[in-house]
Structure 1
């Protein structure tokens, strides 16, 4: 079940290594993730890391839970009633997301329609020169 509201919790001692600090962590709702993704214009993309950082910044916490965000992102992508450009979210190394509808092939097609070049030679397809198209909020 997806979170209906955003939750802020303490970063556990076991998570300090991942976040690099103690403090508070956001468990983002699907709505919070969708709202931020909806702001990404055509021909721009964002990585999962940058998306988590932006959410943490908005909620004034030290981090965003990667597991909860991935669940929200997956739900958004698979909800045909939402008009959210989920395909503009890629992995931090430029790779495409296999868990989106249609897998990496469909995400590659959607990004190609927006003018992105996709490197299909790798095991997991990747956006070429993706750093030059990252959104700057």
Structure 2
């Protein structure tokens, strides 16, 4: 990266960070520690691009979970499971990249607010926090409910892609 004299190196944009994984996707055997839960087989560690593309395919009014994206990518790669930890990290990066692009005036951003945690919970680490996520989800016809300190899309199971 270039920098001007006297300044620190320019920080990578989220879009640049998403592009920084040339060795992914990767398919390998399920690690022994994970086999207790999932059994033997293979796991795909997706590329950031694949995760973002899955998020972009969610139409208005519908939802997807990080776990669902992992399952979808496992099917596409012919593996037993998808790495949901990596999927969640890349979903968060795609959300941050979308926020940067929206700030830059781009209109066609990844609809990150439609990607929920496994149980329909909102990811409050996504850009804009609770207020922004609720506004966007409710404008698409969803109802957000609070349970304890957490927030969920009501009846999210009926709105998941493929249901």
TM-score over 0.5 for the pair: yes
SS in 2 for 1:8: strand
- Equivalent residue, structure 1, for 2:150: 124
Question: C-alpha distance in 2, partners of 1:12/1:64?
Answer: 12
Q: Any idea what SS the aligned residue of 1:3 has?
A: coil
Q: Which has the greater radius of gyration?
A: 2
Q: Which residue of 1 aligns with 2:109?
A: 83
1:6 and 2:25 aligned: yes
Alignment match, 1:45: 63
- Bigger mean CA offset, 95-104 vs 126-135: 95-104
What TM-score do you get using the length of structure 2 for normalisation? Answer: 0.76
1:26 is the counterpart of 2:26: no
Give the match for residue 159 of structure 2.
133
Q: Scaled by the length of structure 1, what TM-score is found?
A: 0.89
Residue-by-residue CA offset, 1:17-47 (whole Å, 9 max, x unaligned) = 33x2212111111100111111111000012
Does structure 2 conserve the Cα–Cα contact (< 8 Å) formed by 1:48 and 1:91?
yes
Whole-Å separation in 1 of the counterparts to 2:70 and 2:153: 20
Give me the whole-angstrom Cα distance separating, in 1, the residues matched to 2:131 and 2:62.
19
5+ residue gaps, structure 1: none
Counterparts of 1:48-87 in structure 2 under 5 Å?
48-79=66-97, 80-81=100-101, 83-87=109-113
